[in-house]
Amino acid sequence: MVESQHRVLVLGAGLAGVSLALHLARRHLGPVAVVDPRTVAGGATGRAAGIVTTQLWNSWDVEVARETQQEYSERAQHLGRGAYRRTGFVRWTQDAEKEPILERARERFRSWGVETSTLRGGELAEKFPWAEFDERTVGLYSSEDACVNPTELAGDYVEEGRRLGVRYEFGQVLKLPRRSGSVWELDTPSGPIRAEQLVLAAGAWSKRLAAELGHPLPLAPYRTQAALIRPLEAPPETFPAAHDIDHDVYLRPEDASRILVGNGTELREVDPDQVPGGGTPEFLEHIAFALAQRWPRWQDSEVSAAWSGVCDATPDRRPLIGALDPRRSLYVLAGFNGFGVMRAAGAARRLAELLADGSGDSRAAERLAPVRPDRFGPVLPSFGPQPGFTLEDGDLPRC
């Protein structure tokens, strides 16, 4: 076994972690290592819906999602068609009281450079001819949004990372790194890793790791669920990803015969190591009911797979990105509130800039100011998970 000296050690091989490693490797600042007890995309990334939209909560989110979308689009040019598909995204409601909220959202998006259009019953029916709409239904549509295969993209980041010398350690029991002098040390079966900087990018497990390192974080791991269904009547080859606000169900095209359907989010904190892998009967009943209301020809679909994943929430739905302890070169890249795939590449690029610069007063730090991990102050707020495709006017109030 050999001891290796690295510039950065990343804990977590989801899309955020592996894209951060690649952005760092491209800067040629020094060797980078990524360690994960599972495999690449073995956590929330591999269970994500893969919808990438800029219909988000604030201008920072929109900027980062747009950067992420552009990066995925460029990477997917040499991958299969399913890695990145520009499908568009629409969310709709039949509730007249929610229509003004949609219109305010549209104006807010326009101020951030996000172009959306309002679609009504007949226009929605043109995009979803197998669904049932009436004239009360109104939707908000963005044509530039996409669906991606998060696992395929993460694997592609790893392939390029290997070519640039990134060291990956997968399938290892993850021990807690220790601070030794001016470096971090982590024992692995193939030899110790020593690194100047440590980044926690372990998703729902970041809360535990940070606490064990002496820096509790305002993170709440929560369970979410999705399923692949195979309708008796074959779906079209492609159609916009969609969110039915009234039933709180989203769906997107998966392949030639299947559709991915969610939202099985449970709004309570969980232990990420104690979450069963399958979908609950309650979740499957929920999507069956929603399909019967909007897509009656799909209500008898075969469920070909159902699964659970664990995401991590923050009090204001913004992630935690930046320095936890600058003196010890400890950083975090977590708290994506179920929107990690939408933000991963853009967020990782910004953190790579900060790690390369190392200054808390730099332009790189300014670009991460809205998501500073210390923004809630020394006393962490008590809160519960509140993720979702929401339509609130701007940011949530801080707890």
CATH number, domain of 360, equals: 3.50.50.60
> At 296, is the pLDDT very low, low, confident or very high (cuts 50, 70, 90)?
confident
The reply to whether 376 falls in a domain is: no
> At 304, is the pLDDT very low, low, confident or very high (cuts 50, 70, 90)?
very high
Q: For residue range 172-183, list pLDDT tens digits in order.
A: 777 799 999 999
Q: For residue range 70-90, list pLDDT tens digits in order.
A: 999 999 998 887 899 999 999
Are both 231 and 307 inside the same structural domain?
yes
Rounded-to-integer distance, Cα 204 and Cα 371, Å: 17
Domain ends where: 295, 313, 331?
Answer: 313
Q: Is 0.85 topped by the overall pTM? A: yes
The reply to whether 256 falls in a domain is: yes
Give the pLDDT of residue 175. Answer: 79
Contact predicate 195/204, CB 8 Å: no
The reply to whether 52 falls in a domain is: no
Are both 256 and 121 inside the same structural domain?
no
What percent of the chain lies above the pLDDT cut of 90?
73
Are both 169 and 290 inside the same structural domain?
no
- Does 189 or 115 have the greater pLDDT score? 115
Are both 295 and 238 inside the same structural domain?
yes
Tell me the average pLDDT of the chain.
91
The reply to whether 377 falls in a domain is: no
Rounded-to-integer distance, Cα 67 and Cα 324, Å: 25
Q: For residue range 358-381, list pLDDT tens digits in order.
A: 766 688 899 999 999 999 988 888
Nearest to 368 by CA among 385, 351, 390: 351
Q: What is the mean pLDDT of residues 331-358?
A: 94
Rounded-to-integer distance, Cα 6 and Cα 168, Å: 12
Are both 259 and 305 inside the same structural domain?
yes
Q: For residue range 123-137, list pLDDT tens digits in order.
A: 999 999 888 998 899
Q: What is the mean pLDDT of residues 274-301?
A: 90
Residue 50 has phi, psi (to 5 degrees) of 80, 20
Are both 226 and 303 inside the same structural domain?
yes
Are both 106 and 251 inside the same structural domain?
no
Distances (CA, A) of 290 to 249, 285, 328, 381: 7, 9, 50, 35
Are both 17 and 36 inside the same structural domain?
yes
Domain ends where: 263, 283, 313?
Answer: 313
Q: What is the mean pLDDT of residues 191-204?
A: 95
Are both 19 and 37 inside the same structural domain?
yes
List, as own/partner pairs, every contact residues 78-81 make where C-beta atoms lie below 8 angstroms and the sequence separation is at least 24, other chains included: 79/152, 79/153, 79/156, 80/149, 80/152
Report how many domains make up the chain. Answer: 3
Give the pLDDT of residue 395. Answer: 45
The reply to whether 102 falls in a domain is: yes
The reply to whether 331 falls in a domain is: yes
Q: What is the mean pLDDT of residues 226-242?
A: 88
The reply to whether 286 falls in a domain is: yes
Q: What is the 3-state secondary structure (H, E, C) of 80-107?
A: CHHHEEECCEEEEECCHHHHHHHHHHHH
Nearest to 275 by CA among 313, 225, 309: 309
Are both 174 and 135 inside the same structural domain?
no
Are both 296 and 238 inside the same structural domain?
yes
Give the pLDDT of residue 371. Answer: 96
Range of the domain at 169: 4-46+150-218+316-371
Are both 230 and 301 inside the same structural domain?
yes
Rounded-to-integer distance, Cα 149 and Cα 157, Å: 13
The reply to whether 394 falls in a domain is: no
Q: What is the 3-state secondary structure (H, E, C) of the chain?
A: CCCEEEEEEEECCCHHHHHHHHHHHHCCCCCEEEEECCCCCCCHHHHCCCEECCCCCCHHHHHHHHHHHHHHHHHHHHCCHHHEEECCEEEEECCHHHHHHHHHHHHHHHHCCCCCEEEEHHHHHHHCCCCCCCCCCEEEEECCCEEECHHHHHHHHHHHHHHCCCEEEECCCCCCCEEECCEEEECCCCCCEEEEEEEECCHHHHHHHHHHCCCCCCCEEEEEEEEEEECCCCCCCCCCEEEECCCCEEEEECCCCCEEEECCCCCCECCHHHCCCCCCHHHHHHHHHHHHHHCHHHCCCEEEEEEEEEEEECCCCCCEEEEEEHHHCEEEEECCCCCHHHHHHHHHHHHHHHHHHCCCCCHHHHHCHHHCCCCCCCCCCCCCCCCCCCCCCCCCCCC
Domain ends where: 141, 164, 181?
Answer: 141
CATH of the domain at 263: 3.30.9.10
Rounded-to-integer distance, Cα 186 and Cα 179, Å: 9
